[in-house]
Amino acid sequence: MLRYSLKRLLSLIVSLAVASVVIFAVIEVAPGDPASFMLGVNAQEDTLAALRAELGLDVPKVQRYFDWIGGLLVGDFGTSYTYRTPVAQMIADRMWVSLPLALYALALSTLIAFPAGIYAAARRGKPGDVAVMGATQLGVAVPNFWFAMMLVLIFAINLRWFGAGGFAGWDKGVWAGIHSLTLPAIALALPQAAILARVMRSALLDILGEDFMRTARAKGLTRRQALWRHGVRNALIPVLTILGLQFSFLLAGSIIIEQVFFLPGLGRLVFQAISSRDLIVVESVVMLLVFAVIMVNFLVDLAYALVDPRLRDRT
Amino acid sequence: MSLLEIRDLNLGIHSYDILKSVHLTVAPGEVVAVTGESGSGKSMTALAVMRLLPEAAHHSGSIRLDGTELLDLTEAQMCRLRGAAVGMVFQEPMTALNPVKTIGDQVMETILVHRAMTRERAEERAREVLTRVGLPPERFPLSRYPHELSGGQRQRVVIAMAIALRPKLLIADEPTTALDVTTQAQILDLLKGLVEEYGMGLLIITHDLAVVSDIADRITVMRYGEVVESGPTRRLFAEMRHPYTRMLFEASGHKVSLPPAPPPEPILSVEGVVRDYPLPRKLFRSQGHHRAVDHVSFALNRGERLGLVGESGCGKSTLTRALLGLEQVQAGRILLDGEPVFSGSRPNLAVRRKMQVVFQDPFGSFNPRHRVDRLITEPFHLLKAQPSGSERRDRIAEMLSAVGLSPDDAGKYIHEFSGGQRQRIAIARALIIRPELILFDEAVSALDVSVRAQILDLLAELCEAYNLTYLFISHDLSVVRTVTDRVLVMRAGQIVEQGETERVFSDPQHDYTRTLIAAAPVLPEIGALRA
C-alpha cells in the first residue's frame, strides 16, 4: 500500500511539472500583448516598453517561467496586470466561494445518485428502474443553467426561501454562506447526479452478473443483502472515477452558474482575466485548477486501493 | 428415505422447455452424479434445487428436501435453507469469490447470515472448516484475499463456505472442470471425505465420465432436459441400456486412427530456449525475473503429431507464443525449416506462412461482425500473391468441405454455428494457406465429448490428406494419448520427459509424469465392470 501511494505521489509531481510547462508555453504563444492591450492601440512605443518592464515582460521567457514557478512554490502568484493587486489574494477570495460550492454540489450529487443508482439496479426493468432512468435521461439532457433559472423562479421569486443571487459571505456565519450557495449547488448537482446514477446502475448491473453474486445467494443471502454486501463495494471503482472527474469539472466549470447567481467564483475570475489579457491571472488560475485535478486524481487512486485489495499489491 | 427427491420436474424459460419430467433422488451419505453434454439441463436441475433460476423460469412437479417441498417455499424461507440445509459449489473458482473481501469474512458470512452462532464462535468455525478443506489458518490466515490464492485453493474456500453449517445436501456443479488433474484429484478426494465424515448427500454435476465413474455411487445421464438413464455406477456402466449413454462413453474414450509416424526429419527445431518475464521491481533491489521457459530443446519431425502436456503455469502457453514468433526469447533458437521464427523485432512472416494455430475458445476467437468467408481468409495477408475472385471462392469452398461444412456456409456469421462447427471453421482458417505445421492450443478442451471425438477424427484425416505436422498442446492426457505419436511433459518451464506417446503413458520414467497419469481419472473398462 505504501509503495503504491509513493508511486502515485511521484506520478503526481511529474504531472504537475509537465502541466506547468505546457500552460506557460500555451499562454505565452497566444496572441495579444498585455501591455498594448492595457494602453490601447495608440500607445507610444516608449510607454509600452516602460509598462512591459514594469510587468516583467521584458526578461527572457525561460527566466520568466522559473520566476513564475518559484513564486508559485512560495505562494507568490505575482501581481495582476489589470488590477495591480496580488493574484494570490484574488484567487484566495474566489476560492472561498468556488471550493465550498464544488464540495456542496458533489455531496448533493452523491447523495442523490447513490440511492437512485442502487435502487434502479435492484429493480432492473421494473417500473422503479424505468422511472429513475427516465429522470436521469432528463437530468443529462437539460443544461444546468436551465435548472438554475427554474430554481430561481420557484424558490427565490415565488416562494422567497432563498435569495435570487449574490453571495452573503462567510463572515455573516456558516449558515448564511451555505444558504446562499444552496440553489447554485442544486443546479450544479442535478446533471452530475444523473450521470453518476447511471454509472452506478450499470456498474452494479455488471457486478450482479458475476459468479460471486450467485455464490452469495447460494450461501443464503437475500437479493438485497447480496447487493449491499457484495455488489456496492465492487461497483465503486467506475463510480469513483466519474466522481473524480466531476469534482474537477465542478471546481472550474461552474462559470455559467456563477453568472446566473452572481457569484464571485473562480470561473468568473478566469473569464474576466481572459477578456482583459491578464495573463498572469489566467496562468495562475489554470495552474491551480490543474493542481486540483491532479490532486483529486491522486486521491481517487488511493481510494481505489482502499476499495480493491488487488490494487494494493500491484506496483 | 431419500434426502433429496425430485419428481416429475418440468422447467421452462419463456416458451423453451429446459427440463422435462426429471426424476432424481439422493440419499444421505450418497454421491449421485448427473452427467450429460452441454444443454442437457444438468446445471439447471441443480439451480432448480437451490431455487436460483432465472426470473423468467416457470416450473411444475416436486422437489422435496428431507420431506419439505421446496417448490412451495417462499423466497424468504428458501434464503433460510440455502447455505444451511443445502450448500453449493460452482465451476469457476477464479470468479466464485468476492475479490474485495477476505476469505475469513466470506466463510464466516455463511454462518452469520443464518445467525447460527456468535461472531467469535463463527470465526472459530471458519478456522475449523478451512483447516478441514486443507487451508490451515497458520499458513492461510483468514485475512487472505482470494487473489492471493491459486485456483485449487480458491475452490477449497468455496467448499468451506458451502459446508460451514454442515448442510445435509451439497451440490457441486462441475467443481473440478477448471482445475488441473492433480488438483482435481485432491478436490474430488476432499468431497468424498466430506460425504463420509458428515453423512451429507452429494449431488455432483459433471460432463466428465471418468470423474463420474471415480466418485459416484449412482449416475443419472441427461440429454435435452430429460433423464435418459440412471442407476448404480457399476450397473449403469456395465449395462448401458440407452444408446446415448453408450455413445457418451465411447466418445469419451474415443481412439483415432493416425497414419504411421514418419521417419525423423526435423521441421521445427527448438534449441535451449529461455523466456524470462520481469518481476515487479522492488525498491533498492535489482530487477528479478520469472523464468517461464527454462532451456527447452526439442525437435518436431515433418509429418509428426507431437503432444505437449503440463499443468497450468508450467510454461506451455509461453512456449507456444515463442514458437509462433509472437515474443522474443532471451536465449536459444527456434527454427522452422532452418529459418528463425522471430527476426529483428517481429515475427518472421516468411516462416509464419508455414505455421498456423487453432485456439481453445471457439466463441472468443472470431470477430462476430465478419462473415465466414472473410474470417477464414484472414491468413491470406501472409501470402505474397493473395488469391482473389474465383480462386479465392474455390479455396474457401474447398476448405469448408475439407472440415466437414458446406461451401454455402461462407456467407454466414459466426453466431449461427455451434461450438464444434466453430472449431471446424478455426481449422479451416488455419488450413487455408496450406501451412506445414499447425499448433493446437487446447483446441478441443471446450468441446463436448461427442463433438470432441468428431474433431479428433477430422484432425487425423486432415493430417494425412494435407501432409501436416501437428503440435498438440493440452492439459488433457487422454486426448493427447490418442492423437499424438510423441509427447513432451513440461513442468515449471522444463521438459521433464519426452518419448513415444504410448511408451510414456504406459511406462512413465519421471516422477512428475507418474503423478500426472495417476491423478487423471480413467474410464472403466466395460469388460472389467461386467465381471
Asked whether the CA dihedral B5, B7, B11, B16 is positive or negative, the reply is positive
The pLDDT assigned to B284 comes to 61
In the predicted structure, residue B82 carries a pLDDT above the cut 50 = yes
**B84 contacts in A (CB within 8 Å)?**
220
In the predicted structure, residue B524 carries a pLDDT above the cut 80 = no
CA distance B432 to B410: 13
Say if the Cβ atoms of A218 and B88 lie within 8 Å.
yes
**A129 contacts in B (CB within 8 Å)?**
none
The pLDDT assigned to B531 comes to 43
Three-class SS state of B179: coil
**A307 contacts in B (CB within 8 Å)?**
100
CA distance B439 to B430: 9
The cell numbers describing B264, all together, are: 525423423
State whether residue A93 sits within 8 Å of chain B by CB: no
State whether residue A235 sits within 8 Å of chain B by CB: no
Region A65-83 average pLDDT:
81
The cell numbers describing B96, all together, are: 466464485
In the predicted structure, residue A225 carries a pLDDT above the cut 80 = yes
ipTM of predicted assembly, 2 dp:
0.81
**B158 contacts in A (CB within 8 Å)?**
215
Say if the Cβ atoms of A218 and B281 lie within 8 Å.
no
CA closest to B78 among chain A residues? A220
CA closest to B155 among chain A residues? A215
- Stated as kind and residue range, the H or E segment containing B528 is helix B526-530
State whether residue A3 sits within 8 Å of chain B by CB: yes
In the predicted structure, residue A110 carries a pLDDT above the cut 70 = yes
- Stated as kind and residue range, the H or E segment containing A248 is helix A232-252
The cell numbers describing B342, all together, are: 522471430
The pLDDT assigned to A315 comes to 47
**B87 contacts in A (CB within 8 Å)?**
218
- Stated as kind and residue range, the H or E segment containing B357 is strand B355-358
Say if the Cβ atoms of B76 and A234 lie within 8 Å.
no
State whether residue B207 sits within 8 Å of chain A by CB: no
Which percentage of chain B shows pLDDT scores above 70?
A: 97
Say if the Cβ atoms of A220 and B80 lie within 8 Å.
yes
pLDDT tens-digit map of B366-407: 888 999 999 999 888 888 888 888 889 999 999 999 998 999
Are the C-beta atoms of residues A110 and A196 closer than 8 Å to each other?
yes
Asked whether the CA dihedral A63, A64, A70, A74 is positive or negative, the reply is positive
pLDDT tens-digit map of B262-292: 888 889 999 999 998 887 666 566 777 888 8
Say if the Cβ atoms of A218 and B162 lie within 8 Å.
yes
The cell numbers describing B176, all together, are: 473440478
The pLDDT assigned to A32 comes to 65
Nearest to B268 by CA among B351, B183, B365: B351
CA distance A37 to A87: 19
pLDDT tens-digit map of A228-240: 999 998 999 889 9
pLDDT-based confidence at residue B528 (cuts at 50, 70, 90)? low
The pLDDT assigned to A31 comes to 65
CA closest to A6 among chain B residues? B283
Angle at B164 between CA B158 and CA B166, to 5 degrees: 120
Between residues B64 and B252, the one the model is more confident about: B64
DSSP string, B55-104: TTEEEEEEEEETTEEGGGS-HHHHHHHBTTTEEEE-S-TTTSS-TTS-HH
Region B328-342 average pLDDT:
87
Say if the Cβ atoms of B161 and A219 lie within 8 Å.
yes
pLDDT tens-digit map of B225-236: 999 999 998 888
State whether residue B87 sits within 8 Å of chain A by CB: yes
Task: Select from A3, A211, A315 the Cβ nearest to the Cβ of B95.
Answer: A211
State whether residue B75 sits within 8 Å of chain A by CB: yes
In the predicted structure, residue A40 carries a pLDDT above the cut 80 = no
For B32, phi and psi rounded to 5 degrees?
-115, 130
Interface of A with B in 135-154 (CB under 8 A): none
The pLDDT assigned to B316 comes to 87
Are the C-beta atoms of residues B480 and B309 closer than 8 Å to each other?
yes
DSSP string, B2-48: -SEEEEEEEEEETTEEEEEEEEEEE-TT-EEEEE--TTSSHHHHHHH
Region B146-153 average pLDDT:
88
Region A1-26 average pLDDT:
84
The pLDDT assigned to A197 comes to 95
pLDDT tens-digit map of A77-107: 877 877 878 888 888 888 888 888 999 999 9
CA distance B465 to B452: 20
CA distance B79 to B69: 14
Region B302-322 average pLDDT:
89
In the predicted structure, residue A116 carries a pLDDT above the cut 60 = yes
CA closest to B51 among chain A residues? A218
pLDDT tens-digit map of B155-196: 999 999 999 999 999 999 988 887 888 888 888 999 999 999
The pLDDT assigned to A271 comes to 85
The cell numbers describing B512, all together, are: 512428475
**A234 contacts in B (CB within 8 Å)?**
98-100
Say if the Cβ atoms of A219 and B145 lie within 8 Å.
no
DSSP-derived secondary structure letter, B259: P
Nearest to A11 by CA among A303, A306, A295: A295
The pLDDT assigned to B297 comes to 93
State whether residue B50 sits within 8 Å of chain A by CB: yes
Name the average pLDDT for chain B: 88
